[in-house]
Amino acid sequence: MLYNHNPTLTDVPKAIDESRQGETVYWEQVMPGPPSRKRFYIESYGCQMNFSDSEIVAAVLAEDGYAPTRILEESDLILINTCSIREKAEETVRKRLRLFDAVKRQRPGVLVGVLGCMAERLKKKFLEEEKLVDIVVGPDAYRDLPKLVANAEDGEKGINVFLSREETYADISPLRLDSNGVSAFISIMRGCDNMCSFCVVPFTRGRERSRDAFSIVAEATHLFEQGYREVTLLGQNVDSYKWQNPETGKVVSFAELLEMVALVHPHLRVRFTTSHPKDMTDEVLYTMARHDNICKYIHLPVQSGNSRILQLMNRTYDREWYLQRIEAIERILPDCAISSDIITGFCTETEEEHRDTLSIMERANYAMSYMFAYSERPGTLAAKKYRDDVPEEVKKRRLNEVIHLQNQISLRHNQADIGKTFEVLIEGDSKRSKDEFKGRNSQNKMLVFPKQPGLTPGDYVRVRVVAATTATLLGEIVS
């Protein structure tokens, strides 16, 4: 039974958060089992944490006898793992729910469950507002899904939005749903203890907690044995990872965890996201420098280049501190690529302050950025304390300026790679052609190059860059 062809789902948006599009991937790993098993269909929106959580959910449901399907119309349980980060993300989810409604009317008995951040944010309101929703489950309550589904089958609406201080799902082996068989996510922590004033995440994901370091290493080892060659360690603020071994009392820092995972195998690439500028230590940078298999790429969101705005955002660093972190990266890891997240039109932002963002982008020389217009989120500090007073068209215009500049910087960054040779991990066929492979270099840049016989996804090849666009490097394999 294969799920990698499904013409009815061509309209399903993937990784819908406008910026965080993952690469198109296939459901290669399928659950064996009799066709009589009930099937669940799951769609994920938002950040990689959500995609990673969907694999936990899939594992919990598989244990309960459900098999995954990519075909919406043949599922018994439709799940949507939601994001609340911006208003638009929530609108997208509501649109999908309208579509599920239509499916449900054709096939009575089908259950619809809302998971993730929007479930946590809206709680009971979801059941009241969206009559078709049967189950509402927050990010820390996925172990409860089988019970909630069983209750819903008996006609009882189910909700669990309890936020835990301990849950890390450390013992659950994720069911890799959307896998290319080469790269996988590993959640190393959950929640966030920062209180960036614009951000809804601390409210939807709860307190920060770190996962057992040995369970992380075990998951990475298992993935390597299955043929995976790249893991991305996930957390909202990986630099504040801190796990105390209950037996020895020893505390494992992020730098130490990174080293432990890097030592799993020299052919296992290690990536991580997201780094917070206030917490990113030189120790992490030195650990990266010591291990070739820790990728030389850091996602270090700046949000704004202006110190007053950063203070209003409660980011707890200023422009100078951020630039000093950039200098540390350049000094310790000269070949490291840096990317960023940027918000335009935050409360009270002036033109001059906006220009500080443009100038910090130039200085940091970002390989790429995820860029957003500020979207006020109910319940956040900014919503309570500040007026969302930058007119929508000004936010959009500033966003366009930021995007335009980033395109120029990205192109320049990529053109500087022409003539260089990189080690590339083959991920699969390029989007354009079956005769070409695509894969990333250590700096997280996508390279596209003609195939050579005998190579398969998961292999490392050396590729020389011959041309560049804003988003891709074009190359050829060198022997």
Residue numbers at the binding site for ligand F3S (CB under 6 A): 46-47, 49-50, 83-85, 116-117, 200-201, 204-205
Residue number with the smallest Cβ distance to ligand SAH:
341
Residue numbers at the binding site for ligand SF4 (CB under 6 A): 192, 194, 196, 199, 201-202, 236-237, 276
Residue 236 found at the interface with ligand SAH (CB under 6 A): yes
Which residue, among 330, 331, 339, 307, has the nearest Cα to 409 in the 3D structure?
Answer: 339
Q: Which is nearer to ligand SAH, 81 or 430 (CB)?
A: 81
Q: Are 114 and 135 in contact (CB under 8 A)?
A: yes
Residue 16 found at the interface with ligand SAH (CB under 6 A): no
CA distance 244 to 217: 15
Tokens of 285: 């940078």
In this structure, what DSSP letter does residue 6 have?
-
In whole angstroms, how far apart are CA 30 and each of 122, 203, 325, 456? Answer: 33, 34, 43, 20
CA distance 5 to 26: 9
- For residues 156 to 195, the per-residue mask of contacts with ligand SAH, x marking binding by CB under 6 A and - elsewhere, is ----------------------------------------
> Got the DSSP string for 98-165?
HHHHHHHHHSTT-EEEEEEHHHHHHTHHHHHH-TT--EEE-TT-GGGHHHHHHHHHTT--EEE-PPPS
Residue 313 found at the interface with ligand SAH (CB under 6 A): no
In this structure, the dihedral spanned by the alpha carbons of residues 188, 290, 180 and 83, taken in order and rounded to 10 degrees, is 40
Task: Tally Cβ neighbours within 10 Å of residue 476.
Answer: 13
Q: Smallest gap, in angstroms, from Cβ of residue 428 to ligand SAH?
A: 26
Query: Which partner in ligand F3S, ligand SAH, ligand SF4, none is near 50 (CB below 5 to 8 A by kind)?
Result: ligand F3S
Instruction: Pick the binder of ligand SAH from 86, 229, 440, 445 (CB under 6 A).
Output: 86
Query: Which partner in ligand F3S, ligand SAH, ligand SF4, none is near 168 (CB below 5 to 8 A by kind)?
Result: none
CA distance 325 to 378: 32
The DSSP H or E segment spanning 328 is: helix 319-332
Q: Smallest gap, in angstroms, from Cβ of residue 49 to ligand F3S?
A: 5
Q: Smallest gap, in angstroms, from Cβ of residue 404 to ligand SAH?
A: 18
Give the distance, in angstroms, between the CA of residue 239 and the centroid of all CA atoms in the same chain. Answer: 16
Q: Smallest gap, in angstroms, from Cβ of residue 147 to ligand SF4?
A: 29
Q: Which is nearer to ligand SAH, 132 or 163 (CB)?
A: 163
Query: Which partner in ligand SAH, ligand F3S, ligand SF4, none is near 202 (CB below 5 to 8 A by kind)?
Result: ligand SF4
Q: Which is nearer to ligand SF4, 44 or 204 (CB)?
A: 204
Q: Smallest gap, in angstroms, from Cβ of residue 410 to ligand SAH?
A: 17
Q: Which is nearer to ligand SF4, 172 or 382 (CB)?
A: 382
Angle at 61 between CA 59 and CA 66, to 5 degrees: 120
> What are the residues binding ligand SAH (CB under 6 A)?
85-86, 198-199, 201, 236-237, 274, 276, 301, 303, 341, 343, 372, 374-375, 377
